[in-house]
Amino acid sequence: MPKNQIADLPRQRGDAVVISTPEDLARVLKCSIRDLSTEYVEIEHRNWAEEGTTERRFIDRFLTSAREQLCLESRLPYPNQELPPMGARVEAVAVGGKPSPSCRYGVGTVTGHEWDSIFRFWRVHVTYDNPAGGWYGSPILGTSTFPRLVHVIGAAGRPFSSMTPQEIEAHFDGVPSTSLCCATNFLRVSGISAHSEF
């Protein structure tokens, strides 16, 4: 463990603090260090897609409340923009694939929230109903992206399904390129993670 890491936090996949269960949240809340903003934190349930409808609802409520509790206790910063709750049905911009889908978005479900301690912003994990483009022949099954590139179906605002690909790409105007690449190019490809540049 690197010497600047906080001990006794639930870690998975390298250095990330992963909160998937009430036990994980309890460990984080017991930690003597209150400010976790220097940690990379993922709030998600890895087996969400394999769970039944009732279990998914429980998981969605728990994970949404866990993120809210961490922000309320000032352990993590509040998002600049409201994050869609776990389990929300959404349209999410899908770029960075090789190739990207021609419509530039995919429809799916919010399955996680993620705090990026390097660029200091929140991301939204979306698992697509159907593959949204490809990554060198493998289907893109989900993404992790800026909240502004996720539209909750039925919410106020213009849905991506009513936009042309050019209008969707216009959402990127004014976004710093390093943050944009880090925020929009994490793809879930056939159950594995892949990073791309576009």
The structural domain count of the chain equals 1
Q: Does a structural domain hold residue 3?
A: no
Q: Does a structural domain hold residue 2?
A: no
Q: Does a structural domain hold residue 143?
A: yes
Q: What is the pLDDT of residue 104?
A: 78
Can you give the residue range of the structural domain that contains 101?
11-195
Answer whether residue 139 shows pLDDT above 80: yes
Q: Does a structural domain hold residue 156?
A: yes
Which pLDDT band holds residue 198 (cuts at 50, 70, 90)? very low
* Pick from 71, 178, 186: nearest CA to 123: 186
Which pLDDT band holds residue 114 (cuts at 50, 70, 90)? very high
Q: Alpha helices, DSSP H only, in the chain? A: 22-30, 53-72, 165-169, 177-184
Specify which of 32-36, 47-51, 120-124, 185-189 reaches the highest per-range mean pLDDT: 120-124
Q: Does a structural domain hold residue 45?
A: yes
Q: Alpha helices, DSSP H only, in 11-164? A: 22-30, 53-72
Higher pLDDT, 33 or 192: 33
Please state the separation of Cα 189 from the chain's center in Å: 15
Answer whether residue 129 shows pLDDT above 60: yes
Q: Are 80 and 121 in contact (CB under 8 A)?
A: yes
Q: Does a structural domain hold residue 5?
A: no
Answer whether residue 178 shows pLDDT above 60: no
Model confidence, pTM: 0.81
Q: Does a structural domain hold residue 1?
A: no
Per cent of the chain over pLDDT 90 is 43
Answer whether residue 182 shows pLDDT above 50: no
Q: What is the pLDDT of residue 180?
A: 36
Q: Does a structural domain hold residue 4?
A: no
Q: What is the pLDDT of residue 192?
A: 42
Mean pLDDT confidence for 95-101 = 65
Write out the two tokens for 166: 């050019």
Q: In angstroms, rounded to a whole number, what is the distance separating the alpha carbons of residues 139 and 97?
A: 9
Tell me: the pLDDT tens digits for 65-81?
999 999 999 999 999 99
Characterize 62-78 residue by residue with b for buried, 16 or more Cβ atoms within 10 angstroms of its Cβ, and e for exposed: bbbebbeebbeeebbee
Q: What is the pLDDT of residue 141?
A: 86
Q: What is the pLDDT of residue 190?
A: 41
Report the sign of the C-alpha dihedral through residues 125, 110, 112, 78, in that order.
positive
